[in-house]
Amino acid sequence: MTFAESLTSAISGNFQLPEPLSARRIVVAMSGGVDSSVTAALALKSGAEVIGVTLRLYDHGEAVGRKGACCAGQDIRDAAAVADRLGFAHHVIDHESAFRQSVVEQFADEYLAGRTPIPCVRCNMGPKFTDLFAIARDLGADCLATGHYVRRVEGAQGAEMHRAIDPARDQSYFLFATTRAQLEFLRFPLGGMPKADVRAIASSLGLGVAAKPDSQDICFVPDGDYAGIVTKVRPGAVHEGAIVDLEGRELGRHRGIIHYTVGQRRGLEIGGMAEPLYVVRIDAAKNEVIVGPRAALAVSSARLSGINRLATAEEWGALGPLTAKVRSMAKPAPARLDGDRLVFDTPEYGVSPGQAAVLYADDRVVAGGWIEETASAFQG
């Protein structure tokens, strides 16, 4: 598909609204980056009325001048500048308190519980979708559009979520908790476009964010210092403890369980071992980090909570073989869902409580949930 064809397709079809679009109102979630800015530009070019909304999610004082952040400081100013250049209304709404309670504090508590959280999913479940939905409906919107790289496909049973065309940009893993009702109202016009085309559109429109770097890591974690955020939010809660092997023998000491995650090898500071050791699990109650050989990371199944099914009961039996991703960068592995248990066809490695497991039928997201506990496949 050429750039011109990609642009025409994005404008004419990807908002999936009844004609004429000139009678429609689209609210666009704007983070200040190139993706949401181009989403707003495409919405405007469709002929619809556009209103941009930016949620201020955390203390912008910590983010001023930071590259790769969103929803704070310079990013809010960038979103406002795009709206001003293109000529549509833009609102900034303060949600810092709600974001702290529903995302930041939970992030800290998850680490203290020995889990590995995904705050981006929690943010989508809370401020970014739930709150923006209410705002968009109050504004009389026909849909809420975002710059996420995922495709919304009209199926026989309603809207479906599919992976983005560009696999390197696909964000379906982080959107697994989107409900079927939310999906009916959401639009993702960038899901069928490569990133290069998105930047080209921004450049052609003279948008200052055309070359802006993509968001990196977690927006509220300065310099990737997760432990620093945890100790700031929950001062005095981190304590050193024992690093033990699978038999419970102490091999060393740790600075706090928040510094470790399942599958981690580096930073254990244990020398003189016959083979490399990995974090196999974390026992928050005992304040212990349990390590073992790579083979001990093998998992046969995982119990899930908060399961969200995006395929109807009628569709489920006809979906065919399923695959599951247990980390955002993991390769999908053949699996099946048996009640609340995700069962892998062959042992999977590095499955960590606190992460999400997302199930796919081909490129369609059909379900997902939070990993609560795992069943070891290790025979050693």
Catalytic residues: 123, 219
Q: Are 60 and 99 in contact (CB under 8 A)?
A: no
Which letter does DSSP use for residue 100 in this model?
Answer: I
**What is the number of other CB atoms lying within 10 angstroms of the CB of residue 379?**
7
Q: Are 258 and 111 in contact (CB under 8 A)?
A: yes
Q: Report the chain's C-alpha Rg in angstroms.
A: 22
Q: How far is CA 374 from the centre of its chain?
A: 22
- Rounded Cα gap, residues 337 and 344, in angstroms: 9
**What is the number of other CB atoms lying within 10 angstroms of the CB of residue 113?**
15
- Rounded Cα gap, residues 117 and 102, in angstroms: 13
3 state DSSP class of 71: coil
Q: What are phi and psi of 89, to 5 degrees?
A: -70, 145
- Rounded Cα gap, residues 137 and 35, in angstroms: 22
The verdict on whether omega for the bond into residue 167 sits within 30 degrees of 0, i.e. cis, is no
- Rounded Cα gap, residues 209 and 37, in angstroms: 8
3 state DSSP class of 356: strand
Q: Are 309 and 367 in contact (CB under 8 A)?
A: yes
Which tokens in the block code for residue 24? 């429609």
Residue with tokens 């992460």: 355
- What single letter denotes the amino acid at residue 282? I
How many CA atoms are closer than 13 Å to the CA of 371, on its beta-carbon side?
Answer: 28
Residue with tokens 């069928």: 192
